[in-house]
Amino acid sequence: MSQILILDFGSQSTHLIQRRLQDLGYTASIVPSHISVSEIKDKNPKAIIFSGSPSSVYENNAPNYDIAILELPLPKLGLCYGFQCTVHHLGGKVEGAPIREYGECPVSILKEDPLFQNINKEFITWMSHGDSITNLPESFTLLAESNTHPAAAHCPQYHFWGLQFHPELVHSQQGTEILNNFAQHIAGLTPTANTIAHTFHTISDEVKAQIGDDPVLILVSGGVDSSVAAAVLLKSLDPNKVHLMYIDTGLMRKNETEEIRHILSQLNAQHIHIINAKERFFSSLKGISDPETKRKIIGDLFVSVTMDEVQKLDLPTDFFLAQGTLYTDLIESGKGVGTKAHIIKSHHNVNSPLIIAKRESGKLVEPLKDLYKDNARSLGLYLGIPETLIFRHPFPGPGLGVRVLGDVDPEKCRILQEADAIYIEELRKRELYPKIWQAFAVFVPIKSVGVAGDVRKYGYTIALRAVCSVDGVSADIYDFEMKDLREISSRITNEVPEVARVVYDISSKPPATIEWE
């Protein structure tokens, strides 16, 4: 039972409203804008928020809500379109503005109101609207304005507050405080103390309701998302019903398979199926040096190994399949809330017939689908996954298959694993690891001459990569102290005899990509 119901009119940021409220310690759920009054009464919320929308209130088929909702004796907050739509319903005027307001916009508070308790009189908000309210209905009191347009208003008759800006966006100064004021001072709600515990219980209840006592399978990759999703299943369901499958492609980091086995056992996993598929991967990759061909081979083989191995498990045909899809994975598919079409995590499952079949039969479980990466991380820590896994740098689906340049074999992978492990260990020791977004070693199949002791050696090249980024879309190189690079290089050439030379990659993205292949 959520404290706040968010009516979704199709805005990209509807989900963020829910996120912000949850982060503040309130429970909120999103429902379609056409929800009926009786459905709302069944849900028994303590407040209602009307979201924004890409539509204009005058458009044909513009999203709308049942006006009887306004009669409910609950506090209501309309954001952007949610405000305009209500103004339109109550006889005010909304028009296409000659000057559209997009982006940062200063707002001045004109009248004191609990919504603006402890908020500066002037603050910057984030607007994104073509239409503006040009005339408020008589029952409304103007609370704030921007560029002579109403930015906030209150209608006591219907317990309705409207904001023209988006308090849920980080660019709106004090937006979170305004949402908190609405929840706490207007709706009289009390935030829960431990929000991560609350998030877990909400997700856990959903998982239990969806899966019940049936068996569930999850593919774990060693990455954050699938590990946290696995932990959620193990802590919510009978661990005897939870099957975890990990496919060891031979293209993982050093000791990765053992580490993930250990972590899953600590989480009380009873059925860990570690599939040793190294042979299949290495033989399929033999002699192949084109990066795209390698990627395709690895992706396709991953799907077929999974299919083969799932067949071998003693599971009924209608078992549930879980995966660690995050909300951002859904956004990246270009689908907003309400119409969200689930995309498939690129690592394991591109066009996997198993995922498609499970989705179609309603047997796909995505416990993290409402979380962002940072929430998933907090949840993982809360559930006891070690920090070293939770804050691990991103790792590409094809793994070392794209970090051993050219053709891949077990020996080159081993050399790379050794060099990479030294590199990462040194970064952790020097407390540089958390400062870098992604760091890894690359095996360059070029031999050069070196000396070890008094002996001439002819060995491979290892390139070190370290980048700073926010999302991997663009990246800059990490500015190491030369001393750090020298010492790391020296450890690698001393301890991995097959390596004669270490180089540091100083290319940003663009023009280079983060991975070399």
Binding site for ligand XMP (CB under 6 A): 346-347, 394, 396-398, 438, 472, 509, 513-515
Q: Which two tokens stand for residue 453?
A: 């002791």
Cβ–Cβ < 8 Å for 260, 290: no
Quote the strand ranges of 346-404, DSSP E: 364-365
**Residue ranges of the alpha helices (H) in 187-289?**
195-211, 224-236, 256-266, 278-285
d(CA 30, CA 84): 19
Using the minimum distance from each CB to ligand XMP, give the nearer residue, 143 or 344: 344
Using the minimum distance from each CB to ligand XMP, give the nearer residue, 222 or 380: 222
d(CA 62, CA 54): 9
Helix (H) or strand (E) run with residue 485 in it: helix 482-495
d(CA 225, CA 218): 11
Q: Which two tokens stand for residue 332?
A: 């990246």
Q: How far is the CB of 334 from ligand XMP (least distance, A)?
A: 18
Cβ–Cβ < 8 Å for 514, 439: no
Cβ–Cβ < 8 Å for 43, 36: no
Set 129, 159, 166, 243: catalytic member: 166
Q: How far is the CB of 507 from ligand XMP (least distance, A)?
A: 11
Using the minimum distance from each CB to ligand XMP, give the nearer residue, 73 or 510: 510
What is the three-class DSSP state of 220?
Answer: coil
Nearest to 309 by CA among 301, 318, 320, 298: 301
d(CA 286, CA 317): 35
Helix (H) or strand (E) run with residue 380 in it: helix 373-382
Using the minimum distance from each CB to ligand XMP, give the nearer residue, 46 or 509: 509
Q: How far is the CB of 277 from ligand XMP (least distance, A)?
A: 18
Using the minimum distance from each CB to ligand XMP, give the nearer residue, 275 or 402: 402
The structure tokens 């500015």 sit at 479
Using the minimum distance from each CB to ligand XMP, give the nearer residue, 65 or 395: 395
d(CA 17, CA 179): 9
Listing DSSP states for 498-517 in one string gives: TEEEEEE----BTTS-SS--
Using the minimum distance from each CB to ligand XMP, give the nearer residue, 421 or 467: 467
Using the minimum distance from each CB to ligand XMP, give the nearer residue, 25 or 399: 399
Nearest to 326 by CA among 391, 362, 379: 379
Set 101, 168, 418, 517: catalytic member: 168
Q: How far is the CB of 478 from ligand XMP (least distance, A)?
A: 14
Cβ–Cβ < 8 Å for 5, 45: yes
Q: How far is the CB of 256 from ligand XMP (least distance, A)?
A: 15
Listing DSSP states for 289-354 in one string gives: --HHHHHHHHHHHHHHHHHHHHHHS---TT-EEE----HHHHHHTT--TTSPPPP--HHHHTT-HH
425 is an active site residue:
no
Q: How far is the CB of 98 from ligand XMP (least distance, A)?
A: 42
d(CA 202, CA 19): 13
Q: How far is the CB of 309 from ligand XMP (least distance, A)?
A: 20
Residues 6+ apart with CB under 8 A from 408: 251, 282, 285, 288, 294, 400, 401
185 is an active site residue:
no
Residue count of the chain: 517
Q: How far is the CB of 512 from ligand XMP (least distance, A)?
A: 8
Torsions phi, psi for 146 (to 5 deg): -140, 135
Using the minimum distance from each CB to ligand XMP, give the nearer residue, 44 or 346: 346
Q: How far is the CB of 487 from ligand XMP (least distance, A)?
A: 25
In single-letter form, the type of residue at position 298 comes to I
d(CA 155, CA 163): 12
112 is an active site residue:
no
d(CA 77, CA 184): 13
For the annotated catalytic residues, the residue numbers are 80, 166, 168
